[in-house]
Copies of this chain bind each other. A is one copy, B any other.
Amino acid sequence: MVTYAAPLREIRFVLNEVLKADQLSALPGYEEATPDLFDAVLEEAAKLCVNELLPLNLSGDKEGCHYENGVVRTPAGFKEAYTKFIEGGWTSLSCDPDFGGQGMPHLLEFVVQELICSSNISFGMYPGLSHGAYNSLAAHGSDELKQTYLAKIVDGTWSGTMCLTEPHCGTDLGLMRTKAEPRGDGSYSITGTKIFISAGEHDLTENILHLVLAKLPDAPPGIKGISLFLVPKFLPKADGTPGMRNGVMCGSLEHKMGIKANATAVMNFDNAQGWLIGEAHKGMRCMFTMMNAARLGVGMQGLGISETAYQTAVAYAKDRRQMRSLDPKKQDKSAAADPIIVHPDVRRMLMTIRANTEAGRALAYWVGMLLDLSHKHPDPEKRQEADDLVALLTPIVKSYLTDHGFNAANLAVQVHGGHGYIHEYGVEQLVRDARITQIYEGTNGIQALDLVGRKMPQNMGRLMRRFFHPVSAYLETQMENPAMLEFIGPLAKAFGKLQMATATIAQKGFTKPEEAGAAASDYLKLFSLVALGYMWAQMVDVAMKNLDGDEKAFYEAKIVTARFFMQKLLPEHASLFVNIMAGGKVLMELPAEAF
């Protein structure tokens, strides 16, 4: 069975000891965001996740969503859980107090998202999508739209969606066919079909607000002619309550590999009334407000699943007895076999999940804190710096943490042997649920192209320097610390390769974009390994200073896990570097018809 308890000690370690997140409470508007408040909120979030959401995960997967004549019913228990969720104020955590929000930092929202995704990713997507709609509306909507809709999203009684994909266009939104015609009253008629709409239709909220990309009649061709519209399922009455049904219907639900408790809808818009968000033809900009947050949210899904995979695999490995330890001294003679955690290959799998999850958490939370700094820091240069780092690290968090989430789930299955393949154990569900995170909100291949094609050249490499300079400085300082050498040495080596790969790709890509495209996925992985190594170095540094205290075992485990990362995971950088340097010619050599 799936084993999960919120890893609050781990979370506090990253927040308080590594990132020193108490600095947020010095920012204007975040005065209340102290470590004590974080603790109190997370204790409550942990209860909600473990007691309400986790028990619905397997049953929700088994039952799935039900579709009949345009009406969608979520699995048993979801509506009750959602009611508790909004009663607890979880939809409003980081929202603007002007619209009923609690005004908490994004960082706290990130941590809560991790807990939710560890417990029930299908459930988490319903409020998650709403939060994306909130972000976009709050940033780009007119005052009238904000007044009409925001408070309802904040209190969770209404929910939101992102309607981008159409049958013939996913990544390439420029091909879009959905049309918007002005009605003459300031509103628009939206007509078209959108697919893969997560939480597109369901019974959790009294209204659903679709954020829909469409083309106006005078739209320029391609991606520069797309506008964003708000299309409510029910048109609000003058008193703000849901009124007439709008011309948008759910045509069907997809049968999917996983996240079965989340309704993935085909949405048909037939002269549906909608309102423009932001400027005409500038919809992609508004959508990216939503999309960037969503990409980080998907990274948190990967992280959340990897934590559950870890805890579940560890519980099984301590309980299941098969074969004897290869070291006679470790054999438990009181039983006929030893717990499989004695076997080196089982430990290899557990340590792999652990080392990536812990450093992934540190990286993701760091980005969460940077997001807050980018919004609230009084110094505009500091805001820009934080914003640059968030932009740079978003594709890393999205791709690496979701690839890791999927791998972690698969390793947990492998630790379980045949039992991992059986539905009732709940581990194979983690694999199926995790698989989508590598695809949606831009496939991981697209993230890699975003990194090399957009983020790398941006402002003459300014985003890259935001990361490279502090890492260089850090390595230089730590080189003088003999105790840190076993960690700093490998990291410095990998970092050197990353710098060389960066220079090579930047140079080649300048004249031959295909070369950058060919290197993208390997480069993203190389960058990720260095970023995680950088996190591990900082965590070890903290741990070493605390070895004399009450929690010696906790900090010692940090050091061993960091060592594992440096010895067993970071070396992959060498192969990635060779692959990158080999160039892209061999990828493009075969004519398409030879495939």
B257, B414, B574: which contacts A432 (Cβ < 8 A)?
B257
Contact B255 A422 (CB under 8 A): yes
The reply to whether A443 and B428 contact each other, CB–CB distance below 8 Å, is no
Interface pair B588/A418, CB less than 8 Å apart: no
Collect the chain B residues with CB atoms within 8 Å of residue A354's CB.
595
Complex CA distance for A485 and B255, rounded to whole angstroms: 50
Give a binary string over A331-361; 1 marks a CB under 8 Å from any B CB, 0 the rest. 0000011010111111111110010000000
A172: Cβ under 8 A from any B Cβ: yes
- The stretch of A46-54, A129-137, A375-383, A576-584 that contacts the partner chain: A576-584
Contacts of A341 in B (CB 8 A): 592, 595
Chain B proximity of A556: nearest CB distance (Å): 8
A169 to B417, CA, bound (A): 11
Chain B residues near A445: list those with CB within 8 A.
345-346, 349, 414
Interface readout for A426-451 with B: 1 if CB under 8 Å, 0 if not?
A: 00100110011011100111001100
Having A255-B424, A414-B439, one finds 18 other A-B pairs with CB under 8 Å, namely: A170-B417, A170-B418, A318-B592, A326-B513, A343-B517, A344-B514, A344-B517, A345-B448, A345-B521, A348-B518, A348-B521, A350-B595, A413-B439, A414-B443, A418-B439, A556-B594, A560-B586, A560-B590
Query: Chain B interface: which of A107-115, A388-396, A542-550, A563-571?
Result: A563-571
A541 within 8 A of B: no
The chain B residue with its CB closest to the CB of A428 is B257
Residue A68 lies at the interface, judged by CB distance under 8 Å to chain B: no
For A568, list chain B residues within 8 Å (CB).
Answer: 579, 582, 586-587
Question: Within 8 Å of chain B (Cβ to Cβ): is A175?
Answer: yes
A594/B423 in contact, CB under 8 A = no
User: A299 an interface residue at 8 Å Cβ cutoff?
Assistant: no
Q: Is there an interface contact between B345 and A518, defined as CB atoms closer than 8 Å?
A: yes
A490-536 at interface with B (beta carbon < 8 Å): 512-514, 516-518, 520-521
- Whether B431 lies near A414 (C-beta < 8 A) is no
Chain B residues, Cβ within 8 Å of A579: 567-568, 571
Task: Say if the beta carbon of A96 comes within 8 Å of chain B.
Answer: no
A575 contacts B by Cβ under 8 Å: yes
Least CB separation from A559: chain B residue: B589
Residue tally, chain A, CB below 8 Å to B: 97
A323 within 8 A of B: yes
Complex formed: what's the CA distance from A347 to B591 in Å? 11
Q: Does A572 contact B (CB under 8 A)?
A: yes
Contact flag A431-B435 (CB < 8 Å), given A172-B323, A345-B521: yes
Checking B168, B257, B317, B345 against A517 with a beta-carbon cut-off of 8 angstroms, the contacting residue is B345
11 contacts between A and B (CB under 8 A): A165-B418, A345-B520, A347-B588, A350-B595, A413-B435, A414-B439, A418-B439, A428-B435, A553-B594, A568-B587, A571-B579
Check A595 against B314 for contact (C-beta < 8 Å). Answer: yes
**Which residue, of A354, A564, A573, A588, has the highest number of chain B Cβ atoms within 10 A?**
A588
Q: Which residues of B contact A351 (CB under 8 A)?
A: 586-587, 590
A196 within 8 A of B: yes
* Complex contacts, A571 vs chain B, CB 8 Å: 575, 578-579, 582
A421 within 8 A of B: yes
The answer to whether A147 has its CB under 8 Å from any CB of chain B is no
Point out the residues of chain B lying under 8 angstroms from A345, CB to CB.
445, 448-449, 517-518, 520-521
Using CB atoms and an 8 Å cutoff, list the residues of chain A in contact with chain B: 165, 168-172, 174-175, 195-196, 254-258, 314, 317-318, 321-323, 325-327, 336-337, 339, 341-351, 354, 410, 413-414, 417-418, 420-424, 428, 431-432, 435-436, 438-440, 443-445, 448-449, 512-514, 516-518, 520-521, 553, 556-557, 560-561, 563-564, 567-568, 571-575, 578-579, 582, 584, 586-592, 594-595
CB nearest to A448 among chain B residues: B345
**Residue in A196, A337, A344 whose Cβ sees the most chain B Cβ within 10 Å:** A344
What is the chain B residue whose CB lies nearest that of A589?
B560
Residue numbers in B under 8 Å from A323 (CB-CB)? 171-172
Complex CA distance for A327 and B572, rounded to whole angstroms: 30
Contacts of A443 on B, CB cut-off 8 Å? Answer: 414, 417
Query: Top 6 nearest A-B pairs by Cβ distance?
Result: A344-B518, A257-B428, A326-B513, A172-B322, A344-B517, A571-B578
Q: Give bound CA distance, A413 to B443, whole Å.
A: 11
Closest to A314 in B: B595
Verify B514–A327 contact, CB threshold 8 A: yes
B-chain residues with CB within 8 Å of residue A449 when the two chains form the complex: 345
Known contacts: A350-B595, A587-B564. The answer to whether A421 contacts B513 by CB under 8 A is no
**Whole-angstrom CA separation of A325 from B574 in the bound complex:** 30
Given contacts A584-B344, A588-B347, contact A436 B421 (CB under 8 A): yes
A257→B590 CA distance, assembly (Å): 36
